[in-house]
Amino acid sequence: MRILVTGKNGQLGKSINKIVNTGNGKNNYQQDNEFIFVGREELDLSNNSSIINYFNNNDKFDVIINCAAYTQVDKAEQEAELANQVNHLAVKQLASIANKQQARLIHISTDYVFDGESDKPYTEIDITNPINVYGKTKLAGEKALQAVMPINAIIIRTSWVYSEYSNNFVSTMLRLGKERDELSVVSDQIGSPTYATDLADAILEIIKSKEFREENQTTQIYHYSNEGEISWHEFAKEIFKIAKIDCKVNPITTQQYPTPAKRPINTIMSVDKIVGIFSLNTPNWKESLIKFRKHEYEK
Ligand SMILES: NC(=O)c1ccc[n+]([C@@H]2O[C@H](COP(=O)([O-])OP(=O)(O)OC[C@H]3O[C@@H](n4cnc5c(N)ncnc54)[C@H](OP(=O)(O)O)[C@@H]3O)[C@@H](O)[C@H]2O)c1
């Protein structure tokens, strides 16, 4: 299969790239597939003609994995039009191209499509109600994709993604923890961290599965995160414990830490559907944080 991966310089794009380029044995992804990784230099999702040109100038693909997105949650409040173009209109365009090429589309979305008011883990059929611009544009992308591509696509919503690449909550904590003796971190927002390597593994497992290869399947939404729930405050404490960093972490409320974009309070998602259909492994967040530390040392 010819597999296109967008967002090659992002956390998920880089994580997929690393697995594809180091996999061997039964995980030798290069053996039967050709992976093409692209960044905004080759395929700029903020620009319609860049998207058209890219696909006109390249052979057709069997699978498109869209890891690219406008992910700056606070900045999106000021750049709503750009966020909408990348997270919604470009997704619609990718879906239409995938249709024409008879390619499968795997698109990544977010827990921020929910308002966070539920007291139970969100399932794929729960009502969405985003409370910030980023969440609204990602939801618009999901809906446009489903309308254009009622078959042959998968939407995977994930949450609190971190990796050994670029800036994320874990890398920020590791940096600040070394610089300061004390930090204040929000303790009333609950979620499930997701190590990008685990999500990348899951996507590659899905591509290999016979369920994914069956023809003309209805487009589905799935939730994927690491297992377990935690607040940002508890997560920061665990990051310091594992990294043996001596930094006190004080709990603060969301109200005490105002941000331009509102954040949902509780976005724990049920992963039962994706685990059931694709027999995936969803490691506990703590186990994955330890694995992340090991990879970070090796980098
Ligand atoms: N990070 C999280 O906590 C989180 C949580 C839930 C869901 N998600 C979703 O998970 C997916 C992967 O996220 P991630 O953490 O890997 O994000 P990321 O590290 O921010 O990577 C996103 C990538 O998209 C690229 N991009 C942005 N605008 C573009 C444009 N106009 N044209 C082409 N590429 C563009 C960026 O390119 P540059 O490198 O050139 O800027 C970047 O490499 C996204 O769909 C995101 O919405 C993320």
Q: What's the mean per-residue pLDDT of the chain?
A: 95
Cβ(264) – ligand 1 distance below 6 Å: no
Atom of ligand 1 nearest to the CA of 47: 31
What are the residues whose beta carbons fall under 8 Å from the beta carbon of 183, sequence distance 6 or more? 173, 176, 177, 236, 247, 248, 249, 250
Which ranges of the chain have pLDDT less than 70? 24-26, 297-299
pLDDT of residue 215: 86
Round the CA-based radius of gyration of the chain to a whole number and report it: 19
pLDDT of residue 166: 80
Which residues are annotated as catalytic? 134
Instruction: Please say whether the beta carbons of 28 and 70 come within 8 A.
Output: no
Atom of ligand 1 nearest to the CA of 40: 33
Q: Which of 54, 78, 81, 79 is nearest to 66 (CA)?
A: 54
CA of 181 to the centre of ligand 1 (A): 32
Atom of ligand 1 nearest to the CA of 138: 47
pLDDT of residue 32: 82
What are the residues whose beta carbons fall under 8 Å from the beta carbon of 299, sequence distance 6 or more? 164
Q: Which of 177, 227, 236, 230 is nearest to 199 (CA)?
A: 227
pLDDT of residue 30: 80
pLDDT of residue 27: 74
Can you tell me the distance from the alpha carbon of 275 to that of 124, in angstroms, rounded to the nearest whole number?
13
pLDDT of residue 73: 97
pLDDT of residue 167: 86
pLDDT of residue 230: 96
CA of 10 to the centre of ligand 1 (A): 5
Q: Give this prediction's pTM.
A: 0.96
